[in-house]
């Protein structure tokens, strides 16, 4: 992808995001309402309804009684059954699963970002002869689906004594999220003026302190962006928990949710409430850190 899409979004620090957005909007050309424009708006509107209506339906259906839900699919709830949420939380171990997900997410994201920052820095600063080879390794690793060597991977985790433990999920998760994170960080360091890096390296006592005292502070926004997209990827991950975790008390949220839905087949609005609660985490992260999510997804596109 082009260099420009690779650049990590770095909001202008002198402006608040809101004011910056307003300024951007003022610079936009006025939209003239011709027939073509109206058609485009209408088409997009209809398409967005198709894309998002299932979510809207999930939200209002989760407040129905089971009887009402099965009687009519479309109708709005006659009264809000907050009980469904209480039941979903009480019957399932959703809070427990969410806790496990939180541990897995926080630990793997911290490790991933720390390692990726160091590696991304090395890619830009040290142009040794073998560096292109390492870059190719990263690119190839990025394209390899995690499931290809799934059986040997689980065997290795078992040999390490980490089967059915959270570290057993965290380590391979870090490994498979590293290549893309390294490339995002490399993309950032490539935008740092070369002179700045060289000056810091000449002044600095050692290479390591140059990195830790000068480069890491500069890289904080990019590290944060990398962290946020990783939070979403890890929080949503299903494959590694599925093959590594077994005990109900260790399961992560996506894995536990499939159990919950499989076990309770009778009270559908409660199931919808549970799905909604499980979806809430990553949605809130997106809502709060929108710019970072979009910046990270754009620069980290080759992952997914």
Residues numbered 255-274 forming contacts with other proteins, rule: CB under 8 A = 255, 257-258, 261, 268, 271-272
| Closer CB to other proteins, 83 or 279, in the complex | 279
Applying CB under 8 A, among 35, 50, 202, 205 the residue interacting with other proteins is 50
- Cα→Cα distances 192→115, 121, 218, 222, Å: 19, 10, 9, 11
| Closer CB to other proteins, 14 or 51, in the complex | 51
| Closer CB to other proteins, 196 or 212, in the complex | 212
Residue 35 binding other proteins, by CB under 8 A: no
Residue 168 binding other proteins, by CB under 8 A: no
The DSSP string of 237-303 is --HHHHHH--SGGG--HHHHHHHHHHH--S-HHHHHHHHHHHHHHHHHHHHHTHHHHHHHHHHTTT-
Applying CB under 8 A, among 89, 102, 106, 134 the residue interacting with other proteins is 134
Q: DSSP 3-state assignment of 34?
A: coil
Residue 55 binding other proteins, by CB under 8 A: yes
From the CB of 172, what's the least distance to other proteins, in Å?
Answer: 5
164 CB-contact burial (10 Å; exposed 0-12 / middle 13-18 / buried 19+): middle
**Contacting range for other proteins; rule: CB under 8 A; set: 11-19, 76-84, 219-227, 230-238:** 230-238
CB proximity list for 82: less than 8 A, separation 6 or greater: 63
Q: Please name which of 220, 104, 119 lies closest in space to residue 166, comparing C-alpha atoms.
A: 104
**HSE value, Cβ hemisphere, 13 Å, CA-based, for 148:** 7
Residue 174 binding other proteins, by CB under 8 A: yes
| Closer CB to other proteins, 13 or 51, in the complex | 51
| Closer CB to other proteins, 13 or 26, in the complex | 26
CA pair distance 106, 100, nearest whole angstrom:
10
| Residues from 58 through 117 that contact other proteins (CB under 8 A) | 58, 69-70, 72-74, 114-116
| Closer CB to other proteins, 155 or 199, in the complex | 155
């Amino acid at each position: 992808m082009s260099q420009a899409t690779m650049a990590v979004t770095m909001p202008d620090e002198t402006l608040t995001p809101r004011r910056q957005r307003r300024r951007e909007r003022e610079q936009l050309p006025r939209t003239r309402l011709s027939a073509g424009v109206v058609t485009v708006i209408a088409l997009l509107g209809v398409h967005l309804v198709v894309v998002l209506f299932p979510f809207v339906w999930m939200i209002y259906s989760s407040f129905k009684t089971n009887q009402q839900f099965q009687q009519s699919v479309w109708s709005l709830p006659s009264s809000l059954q907050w009980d469904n949420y209480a039941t979903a939380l009480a019957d399932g171990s959703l809070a427990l699963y969410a806790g496990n997900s939180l541990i897995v997410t926080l630990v793997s994201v911290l490790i991933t970002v720390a390692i990726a920052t160091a590696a991304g820095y090395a890619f830009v600063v040290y142009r040794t002869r073998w560096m292109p080879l390492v870059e190719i390794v990263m690119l190839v690793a990025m394209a390899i689906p995690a499931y290809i060597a799934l059986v040997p991977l689980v065997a290795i985790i078992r040999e390490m004594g980490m089967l059915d433990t959270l570290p057993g999920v965290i380590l391979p998760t870090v490994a498979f999220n590293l290549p893309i994170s390294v490339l995002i960080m490399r993309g950032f360091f490539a935008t740092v003026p070369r002179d700045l890096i060289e000056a810091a390296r000449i002044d600095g006592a050692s290479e390591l302190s140059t990195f830790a005292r000068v480069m890491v502070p500069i890289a904080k926004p990019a590290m944060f962006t990398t962290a946020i997209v990783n939070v979403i990827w890890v929080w949503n991950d299903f494959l590694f928990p599925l093959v590594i975790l077994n005990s109900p008390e260790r399961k992560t949220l996506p894995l536990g949710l499939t159990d919950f839905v499989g076990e309770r087949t009778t009270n559908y609005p409660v199931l919808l409430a549970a799905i909604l609660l499980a979806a809430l985490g990553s949605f809130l992260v997106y809502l709060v850190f929108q710019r970072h999510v979009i910046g990270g997804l754009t620069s980290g596109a080759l992952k997914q």
